[in-house]
Amino acid sequence: VAGQRADARRNYERLLHVAAEAVAAEGADASLEQIARTAGVGSATVRRHFPTRHALLEAVFHEHIESLCAHAHTLEEAPDPRAALLDYLTAIVSAAASIRGLGEALNRGRAAGEYCATDRLTRAGQPLMRRAGLAPGVTLDDLLTLVTGIALATERHQDPAAASSRLLALSLDGFGPRR
């Protein structure tokens, strides 16, 4: 039984590895059938591990999201709360603009209405948000929606990390001249 469990674990890890490579090459809409073929398993096995595309994307990007959340925790005591929040959001936007499929995964995750990567990022960012203070009525969800949008709109730019960070900073400061 222990051997079977170890086999199942190896199969899952192999499938996840293949899925991650497919998403890196083709984006969030990578073919599930192709992933099954490359991994040498049936599509029923893929569906058992990843019942929905949302589940597959969450698994593929799990470690990226965890590392962004860990980054948020290291910023909780930073001396400049506004800079700390910008640092966190910049880390998210440049990852989402640069890592193929991640921006789209964040965008669709919320629409799926399940607990998702965006919820984890929100929870990790709340302490930074509370310390930074923002314009009245602005929520962290607003900021993450903006971050996701900027990532999607800059992922085809020459330098997505730089382009997305620049637009994010402009949005936080305001594009318009001060009234």
87: closest CA among 124, 27, 128, 33?
Answer: 128
Provide the H-helix boundaries in 28-101. Answer: 32-39, 43-49, 53-60, 62-74, 81-98
Q: Which is nearer to a copy of itself, 39 or 117 (CB)?
A: 117
Measured at the CA of 106, the angle between CA 126 and CA 133, to 5 degrees, comes to: 25
* The Cα angle at residue 107 between residues 128 and 90, in degrees rounded to 5: 35
Choose, by CB under 8 A, the member of 84, 149, 160, 165 that binds a copy of itself: 149
The residue among 67 and 139 lying less far from a copy of itself, judged by its C-beta, is 139
| 111 interacts with a copy of itself by CB under 8 A | yes
Q: Which of 49, 53, 82, 100 binds a copy of itself (CB under 8 A)?
A: 82
Q: Which residues lie closer than 8 Å to 23 by C-beta, 6 or more apart? A: 30, 57, 60, 100, 101
Residue whose structure tokens are 């314009």: 135
Number of residues in contact with a copy of itself, rule: CB under 8 A?
A: 36
Residues 6+ apart with CB under 8 A from 70: none
The distance of closest approach from Cβ of residue 27 to a copy of itself in the complex, given in angstroms and rounded to an integer, is: 11
Does residue 102 bind a copy of itself (CB under 8 A)? no
Applying CB under 8 A, does 83 fall inside the site for a copy of itself? no
Nearest to 109 by CA among 167, 168, 28: 28
Is 150 near a copy of itself (CB under 8 A)?
yes
Rg over alpha carbons for the chain, rounded to the nearest Å, is 18
Stretch that binds a copy of itself, among 31-39, 43-51, 64-72, 160-168 (CB under 8 A): 160-168
Among 143, 160, 161, 165, binds a copy of itself (CB under 8 A): 143
Which of the stretches 19-27, 31-39, 50-58, 169-177 binds a copy of itself when contact is defined by CB under 8 A? 169-177
* Contact residue for a copy of itself among 156, 159, 162, 165 (CB under 8 A): 156
Binding of residue 114 to a copy of itself (CB under 8 A): no
If one asks whether residue 152 binds a copy of itself (CB under 8 A), the answer comes out as yes
